[in-house]
Amino acid sequence: MFADKYSIFSVIAQAFNGQRGWKPAWRDVAPQDEYDVVIIGGGGHGLSTAHYLASRFGVTRVAVLERGYIGSGNIGRNTTIIRSNYLLPGNTAFYELSMKLWEGLEQDINYNAMVSQRGVLNLYHSDGQRDAYARRGNAMRLAGVDAELLDAAAVEKMLPFLDRDNARFPIKGGLIQRRGGTVRHDAVAWGYARAADRRGVDIIQHCEVTGIKLENGRAVGVETSRGPIRAKKIAMAAAGNSSTVAAMAGLRLPIETHVLQAFVSEGIKPFIDGVVTFGAGHFYISQSDKGGLVFGGDIDGYNTYAQRGNLPVVEDVLESGMALMPRIGRVRLLRQWGGLMDMSMDGSPIIDHTPIQGLYLNAGWCYGGFKATPASGYCFAHLIARDEPHEVARELRLDRFAKGLVVDEKGMGAQPNLH
């Protein structure tokens, strides 16, 4: 007998069967000629959109087209951090919706995604930075999001190994969101794919979209490496490839693609409970369940579609790590890789219609799109199904750059390398 639902009872039942009765996590299907919705990109956002379209909006004639395999993009390359510690109203409610969806995700999709709310701590190193963090923390609390400002003694108690008396970057305290944390990234992709498949969505791997077909100014289908597919609605969720996919319909997006690298050390005994970010440079670190230190920093400062980075950023990230916790220098680096970031011009995402009827856009995630995966999918599904934006995503419009309505969270303006 094939088991479908994951539970302790089905694991026990399957034990009598040598665990040979499990159904594949999703069906391997050939594309049909036509769907109600075709989603371009089987990353976290494309798959979560499919799940919420089917489970919340009753739209099940859906195909997710992925040119590689599920998990081959950024959903399987990120450093797994989730948080909702944003300042601006255009972002706060959106990311808090995501946090709430993370909190119920495993029950919703019947999949262990290892959601681990172990806290995200942003360190501050000057009085000015403390004031900025206090402002952000207050804005979060006013919006119903948890935030706590810690002083130097509280940080020392929590993380005694940090180089807190460093003359250049003394650690004066931190802003912590205790509900933030990490989630196992590839399990999120597999879990959403499986849940969407169970509701009838076709997950089609190794199917590259090569063209978007327009008729009378309306998007009516896609050309793919596995033949043409017609669709009433076409949803782009191609992350780092958003600009090239949108260009197939003649659109030019306010997005640049850059590479971001991640690093994992050899496994060592647990010593970092949560996620810690350095406030005097771009560096963040957590420890995986296997014991590896998982860390990263800045994007490589040039445009590219190559999923690998260069040594200057490796050096920069490791220097910041050494400034924060010199003992990291004793640990060996095990793995390192890169992923493609769709950097928007204000650092905030876009979930919106495009000027072409029937063509929808989900893009501009910069290096923060993993934490957004549930809300992004939910709000995109809402937009596609109802043809109007979800209330928490109203400000994430495509025309905000032309209209001067940017959601400039960090006040950096149109400089992707600073976001």
Ligand X SMILES: Cc1cc2nc3c(=O)[nH]c(=O)nc-3n(C[C@H](O)[C@H](O)[C@H](O)COP(=O)(O)OP(=O)(O)OC[C@H]3O[C@@H](n4cnc5c(N)ncnc54)[C@H](O)[C@@H]3O)c2cc1C
* Dihedral (Cα; 50, 53, 56, 60), 10-degree rounding: -90
Residue 17 CB, nearest distance to ligand X (Å)? Answer: 34
Question: Using the rule CB under 6 A, which residue among 174, 180, 240, 374 binds ligand X?
Answer: 240
If one asks whether residue 258 binds ligand X (CB under 6 A), the answer comes out as: no
CB 401 within 8 A of CB 343: no
Give the one residue of 231, 239, 255, 383 binding ligand X; rule: CB under 6 A. 239
d(CA 262, CA 295): 6
Residue nearest to ligand X (CB): 43
Angle, alpha carbons 290-294-298 (nearest 5°): 170
371 scored as a contact of ligand X (CB under 6 A): yes
Rg (CA), the chain: 22
CB 75, min distance to ligand X, A: 4
- Minimum distance from residue 41 beta carbon to ligand X (Å): 3
The answer to whether 45 contacts ligand X (rule: CB under 6 A) is yes
Residue 142 corresponds to which amino acid?
A: L
3-state secondary structure string across 117-133: CCCEEEEECCHHHHHHH
Contact 349, 376 (CB under 8 A): yes
Which of 364, 368, 374, 416: binder of ligand X (CB under 6 A)?
368
- For tokens 């004031």, what's the residue? 131
The stretch near ligand X (CB under 6 A) out of 77-85, 100-108, 124-132, 396-404 is: 77-85
The window from 13-21, 62-70, 100-108, 159-167 that contacts ligand X (CB under 6 A) reads 62-70
Instruction: Tell me, by CB under 6 A, how many residues bind ligand X.
Output: 39
191 interacts with ligand X by CB under 6 A = no
Contact status: 321 vs ligand X (CB under 6 A)? no
Query: CA-to-CA distance for 121 and 147, rounded, in angstroms?
Result: 10
First to last CA, the chain: 52
Does position 367 interact with ligand X (CB under 6 A)? The reply is: yes
State the residues that interact with ligand X by CB under 6 A.
40-46, 65-68, 72-75, 77-81, 208-209, 237-241, 245, 260-262, 296, 339, 365, 367-371
